[in-house]
């Protein structure tokens, strides 16, 4: 578990809900025993009653910055989308067999003095503006 300071703002992402909850650490309780040490963080939830609860009681993922939370959510979204696309590809392949490429998709893009065509690692072709044509 991460270490937090009193007064620090955390961003919580509940595991079963689609929302973000900001909380503030209001107390850090350290319990030392002969062979063990535990740290409990008490957080204040922004509500009318300003409830204080133990962070460990909340079924959430904690982030120390909104940027860290955003990056986590974007990565998870991309992974879910990639899984959905892969599943759709497998279903299409099993239902329809190998896909044929439409004639317009297989045609090479036209090249002129302003643009060049490059091929990306995945085989996608992209048209980019030549540096000499930028004014």
Give the total number of structural domains in the chain. Answer: 3
Q: What is the tens place of the pLDDT at every residue in 72-92?
A: 999 989 999 999 999 998 898
Contact criterion met (CB below 8 Å) for 28 and 4: yes
For residue 45, is it within any domain? yes
- Does residue 17 sit in the same domain as residue 33? yes
- Does residue 121 sit in the same domain as residue 95? no
Q: What residues are paired with 9 via a beta bridge?
A: 24
- Does residue 48 sit in the same domain as residue 23? yes
Please tell me the pTM assigned to this model. 0.63
Contact criterion met (CB below 8 Å) for 130 and 115: yes
Give the chain's length. 135
Q: What domain range is 119 assigned to?
A: 103-133
Q: What is the tens place of the pLDDT at every residue in 15-65?
A: 988 899 999 999 999 999 999 999 999 999 998 898 999 999 999 999 999
- Does residue 75 sit in the same domain as residue 41? no
For residue 112, is it within any domain? yes
Task: Name the 3-class secondary structure at 30.
Answer: strand
Q: What is the largest CA-CA distance in the chain?
A: 77
- Does residue 72 sit in the same domain as residue 113? no
The H or E element containing residue 12 is strand 9-14
């Amino acid at each position: 578990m991460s270490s937090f300071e009193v007064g620090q703002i955390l961003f919580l992402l509940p595991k079963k809900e689609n929302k973000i909850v900001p909380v503030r650490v209001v107390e850090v309780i350290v319990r030392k025993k002969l062979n063990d040490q535990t740290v409990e963080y008490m957080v204040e939830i922004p509500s009318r009653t300003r409830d204080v609860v133990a962070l460990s009681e909340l079924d959430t993922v904690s982030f120390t910055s909104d940027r860290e939370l955003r990056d986590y959510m974007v990565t998870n979204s991309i992974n879910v989308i990639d899984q959905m696309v892969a599943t759709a590809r497998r279903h299409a392949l099993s239902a329809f067999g190998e896909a044929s490429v439409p004639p317009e998709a297989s045609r090479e893009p036209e090249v002129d003095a302003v643009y060049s065509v490059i091929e990306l690692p995945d085989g996608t072709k992209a048209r980019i503006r030549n540096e000499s044509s930028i004014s």
